[in-house]
Amino acid sequence: MLPAPDNLFELLLSKGLISAKQLNIAIIQQRVTGATLAETLISLGFLTSQEFARTVAQQAGIEYLDLRTFTLSEQALRCIPKETALKNGYIPLELTDDVLSIGILSPSNFVAIDNVIQLTGKRPKVFLVDEEAFGDSIECAYYFANNSVQQRLETLLAGLNTAAAIQNADIPDLTELLVMDAIQKLASDIHLTPSEEVLHIFYRIDGVLKYSHCLPKIVLTSLASRIKIMAQMDITEQRLPQDGAFTQLFRKKKYELRISTAPTVHGENIVMRILSTSGSIRNINSLGLNDDIIETLRQLFSKTHGIILITGPTGSGKTTTLYSCLRELDLLDKNVITVEDPVEYRLNFVRQTEVNDKTGYTFASSARTFMRQDPDVMLMGEIRDKETAQIAIRSSITGHLLLSTLHATDAVTSIPRLLDLGMSKLLLSSTILAVLSQRLVRKICHYCKEEYELGEKEQLLFRNAGMERNSAFRGAGCDRCGNSGYSGRTSIAEVMVFSSEIKELIYSEASMEAVFQAALRGGMVPLFTEGLKQVAAGQTTINEIQRVVG
Ligand SMILES: [Zn+2]
């Protein structure tokens, strides 16, 4: 990383991305390690690679591009050899008739521009990208451009057409290709679902299952055995559910694969969850939440005691939001301890622990340890049963801020859920500060976005939410988005702050409808309305909001 100009750090300070205290610590550490100041701020977790690049881009007047949500074009990659790109610090992004778009790390990388003109004769269009995403993307992108996983997988599957071919099939290769194919398509899960005749393979992409491949059913046994061996599970057991995990290094990036098997009438159903382990914690401003919610969250996180909960279904980005909020705290001033299952993000200056059933380090025992560790803020991965609910209450009434997640469909239904977990209405109304409920919604693909006229029913949806619209956007479907019309996701959320009115209502066992109305009076914008606002802003579609919020 090149040394950044001094006034850049002033800009970072004035934008509130780093504090003067953090800058001082980084300067001290930098003297010891010899790294650049920007590198040090990033390695300390005070600044993300993305925030730094965005600021550099802003200062240089270049557009920033996030490679994490961008699919690089194979034609563009073929224009420039990998070694040339790496040596000159750029990455080819997209190719049109006379323009080659490239991502550069430094705004003064004129060599890259020269390089493109000389090698391709095309006009370069320049975007600034961040170093973390650059490192992650370049290896993978060139690998996929030069080794068509899709093609190899299709060839292998097409060859499985005789009993002898299936017998001799290269199962380790097939397993690896499936995982790589899923990684390339940014899938979060692979589902191996046997039916009576065949084995169906689905990928979960942006939260939605997508039918991907069909295999001869006879492959299931060997595929299951292969996966179980890798995940250190019992290969002889096929009638009971099992869990396991293994780590896979792919193009210098580590992926953790969590395996779950369940017996079905047609054989073992296998789900492989793919967790990429090097993701940095996102800035609260980049989650897609609206400014009012961010401001409310900031105020809530500055409290010294009480409970803040984030609710939503599995895979709705609860942990991501929790960590983005945690990053907003002054971690140098506060002792923050976490107990998680498992630790999904790593954050400097936070004491993170992981439950381990084998060693007996459970949520319950961790609570006792917590108290002796003089904490200010505690993060407990999830309130999942009566025991964890008790721990949360005990922590908050002894003067700590406790953060956790809970399975509940929206902010208001968290109340019956907590009562169900044995919290008394008195403790509930006196300890809970707020509940945020959130969802991830798919964003319309940038490449095939189109405007369309709204029908009567749809116009009415907007009118009921106090908005007047007669058109909206949708994705027509294109190669870049696998014909789904969507690419990437953003968050929508509602926050219910426990005002004295709401506390009173809970204590007097008022109906949930009464609590909901009070929350609206207190300024809560319900999830569905928040979703429609995103539709109006051209971010997502009505269908998507209806699918996710219902
Ligand atoms: Zn598209």
Whole-number Å distance, alpha carbon 485 to ligand 1 midpoint, is 5
Residue 520: which H helix or E strand, with range? helix 512-521
Q: pLDDT higher for 403 or 147? A: 403
Report how far ligand 1's centroid is from the alpha carbon of 444 (Å): 8
Mean pLDDT confidence for 355-378: 83
List the one residue out of 56, 46, 53, 4 whose CA is nearest residue 25: 46
Give the chain's mean pLDDT. 91
Rounded Cα–Cα distance for residues 1 and 192 (Å):
43
Percent of the chain with pLDDT over 90: 66
Compute the average pLDDT of residues 402-430.
94
pLDDT average, residue stretch 179-203: 93
Q: Given this model, what pLDDT does residue 280 score?
A: 73
Three-state secondary structure call for residue 226: helix
Ligand 1 center to residue 486 CA distance, Å?
6
Q: Lowest mean pLDDT: which of 36-45, 451-460, 507-516?
A: 36-45
Does 5 have pLDDT greater than 70? no
Ligand 1 center to 95 CA (angstroms): 16
Distance 474 CA to ligand 1 centre (A): 10
Q: Does residue 526 carry a pLDDT above 70?
A: yes
User: For the packed helices 318-328 and 291-301, what is the interaxial angle rounded to 10 degrees?
Assistant: 60
Distance (Å) from CA 181 to ligand 1 centroid: 19
pLDDT tens column, 97-114: 899 999 999 999 999 999
DSSP 47-91: S-HHHHHHHHHHHHT--B--GGG-PPPHHHHHHS-HHHHHHTTEE
Band (356; pLDDT cuts 50, 70, 90)? confident
In 133-173, where do the E strands start and end? none
Query: How many angstroms does the Cα of residue 489 sit away from the middle of ligand 1?
Result: 14
Six token digits for residue 63: 């557009």
Tell me if residue 190 falls in helix, strand or coil.
Answer: strand
Give the confidence band of 550 by pLDDT, cuts at 50, 70, 90. confident
- For ligand 1, the distance from its centroid to the CA atom of residue 545, given in whole angstroms, is 18
Element (H, E) at 538: none
Choose the weakest-confidence range: 148-162, 175-189, 419-433, 474-488: 148-162
**pLDDT tier at 253, thresholds 50, 70, 90:** confident
Task: Please give the sequence-ordered ranges of beta strands (E in DSSP) within 225-320, or none if there are none.
Answer: 242-250, 253-264, 267-276, 306-311
- Asked if residue 36 lies in contact with residue 30, where contact means CB atoms within 8 angstroms, the answer is yes
Which pLDDT score, from 0 to 100, does residue 374 have? 86
Q: How far is the CA of 380 from the centre of ligand 1 (A)?
A: 39
**538: CA distance to ligand 1 center in Å?**
14
Ligand 1 centroid to 70 CA: how many Å?
A: 12
What's the confidence (pLDDT) of residue 413? 95
Range with the largest mean pLDDT of 125-139, 352-366, 479-493, 496-510: 496-510
- Tell me, in angstroms, the distance from the centre of ligand 1 to residue 72's CA: 14
Give tens-digit pLDDT for 372-381. Answer: 888 999 999 9
Ligand 1 centre from 451 Cα, in Å? 14
pLDDT for 203 equals 95
Q: Which domains does the chain have, with CATH numbers?
A: 48-146 (3.30.300.160), 149-276 (3.30.450.90), 284-442+489-524 (3.40.50.300)
Distance 401 CA to ligand 1 centre (A): 43
Please tell me the predicted confidence (pLDDT) of residue 190: 97
Number of H helices, E strands in the chain: 23, 18
Q: Which is higher by pLDDT, 148 or 247?
A: 247
Residue 3 pLDDT grade (very low, low, confident, very high; cuts 50, 70, 90)? low
Residue 29: the pLDDT is 92
CA 426 to CA 204: how far, in whole Å?
A: 42
Location of structure tokens 């897609």: 288
Q: Using pLDDT thresholds of 50, 70 and 90, give the confidence band for residue 4.
A: low
Provide CB contacts within 8 A for 65, sequence distance 6+. Answer: 93, 103, 127, 128, 129
Rounded Cα–Cα distance for residues 85 and 111 (Å) = 11
pLDDT reported for residue 278: 55
Q: Does 1 score more than 60 pLDDT?
A: no
pLDDT at 308 over 90: yes
If you measure from the C-alpha of residue 540 to the centroid of ligand 1, how many angstroms do you get, rounded to a whole number? 13
d(CA 195, CA 265): 8
- For residue range 48-91, what is the model confidence (pLDDT) as tens digits? 899 999 999 999 999 999 988 788 888 899 999 999 999 999 99
Residue 539 — very low, low, confident or very high, per pLDDT cuts 50/70/90? very high
How far does residue 483's CA lie from ligand 1's centre (Å)?
A: 6
- Determine the average pLDDT of the residues in 245-259: 87
Contact (CB, 8 A) for 133 and 86: no
Cβ proximity of 534 and 441 under 8 Å: yes
Residue 183: pLDDT above 80?
A: yes
Computed on alpha carbons and rounded to an integer, the radius of gyration of the chain in Å comes to 25
Count Cβ atoms below 10 Å from residue 272 Cβ, excluding itself.
26
Ligand 1 centroid to residue 450 C-alpha, Å: 10
User: How many Å lie between the centroid of ligand 1 and the Cα of residue 479?
Assistant: 6
